[in-house]
Amino acid sequence: MEPGITKAQLLDELQQENARFEALLAAIGPARMTQPEVAGGWSIKDIVAHLTGWRRRTVARFRAARSGDPVTPPPWPPELQTDDDVNAWIYAANRDRPLADVLSDSREAFQQLVDAFSAFDETELRDSSRFDWLDGERFRGASFFGHFHDEHESDMCAWLEQPGDIIPSISMKEMRQMTEDTLTLTLFYTQWKAYQEHIKEAVAPLTAEQLTLRAAPGLRSIGENVAHIIGTRIGWFTETLGEDGGEAKKAWEERRDAVRTAAELAQALDATWQLMADCLARWSLADMQQTFPDDWEGEIVHLSRAWVVWHVLEHDLHHGGEVSLTLGMHGLKSGFTS
């Protein structure tokens, strides 16, 4: 890691770079992402798949550097030795895949990169000998978007500025505003994810008896508060917003009233976070303004996706705080809100 920057700055820089990349994709729009001839016959979708393919190799290298295990081989055949051969393989492997799957892979690979860095402590990141493939080169968050900036950003921006019948061209001023809006949302979501991880880490080691602890008679226990967080996420996202909860919803509702173990609660926190994260990655800024009817004590109100997301976020914060308070009152580790 470059001297003078901290691990927190590295992660923040990564998030800012990714927010700008996502804003560029949002400005281009899905309808234009599969049109060919952006660069050498590639579409925007092909470029995203190309960047993801190489990013997965980077993730595998950093994971191995952290664990000490051998690097997981990349998916392309080992006999491919040149970058051009690998690029051709990535293109062929993704050419006929749905756009939504390619975008989902891109976002997943970015999160894996963030998680890989998060696993290191500050001292480890400064030890260049751990990252032998970099030949001593120091890195920062922006380093991992260098190939995008050097080789592909100009082609994508040029494509964005082309007039077309499908989507009116968007001005760079409008794109910059979208970038700032997307960056703000990304930073909020990143901190929300960190809070979710703190709740999970605080609850996962608890015994069945500790999960029943309460701050006072008549208040929810630790386990009940976490179950309430999980159930509320599922309720708002699937029942109000109409999202398919998939296995997360099915697994929870099959035993809705059951007393859960700490491991089950941690697993459900992960599953419901993934449900929400998939939605947040898919929804555009315009999608966030769409409203949905809801019955509030006999009165029909219309709530936007943005309002629902905020409500679920502040609900997590409120009941996570109750969990922290109860843990602290009973002498258990409770520092996840600091």
Average pLDDT over residues 312-328: 94
- Among 109, 6, 90, 15, smallest CA distance to 47 is for 90
pLDDT digits (tens, 9 = 90+) for 209-221: 999 999 999 999 9
Tens of pLDDT, residue by residue over 267-304, are 999 999 989 988 887 887 778 889 999 988 888 889 99
**CB within 8 Å of 75: residues ≥ 6 apart:** 53, 56, 93
How much is the pLDDT for 179? 53
Q: What is the mean pLDDT of the chain?
A: 87
Query: Which helix H or strand E contains 131, and what residues bound it?
Result: none
Contact between 293 and 308 (Cβ < 8 Å): no
pLDDT of residue 169: 45
What integer pLDDT is reported at residue 155 of this predicted model?
A: 86
Residue range 5-24: mean pLDDT, rounded: 85
Question: Residue 118's closest CA among 56, 21, 190?
Answer: 190
**Structural domains in the chain, sorted by start:** 7-170 (1.20.120.450), 187-337 (1.20.120.450)
Over residues 79-112, the pLDDT tens digits come to 998 999 999 999 999 999 999 899 999 999 999 9
**CB-CB neighbours of 105 under 10 Å:** 18
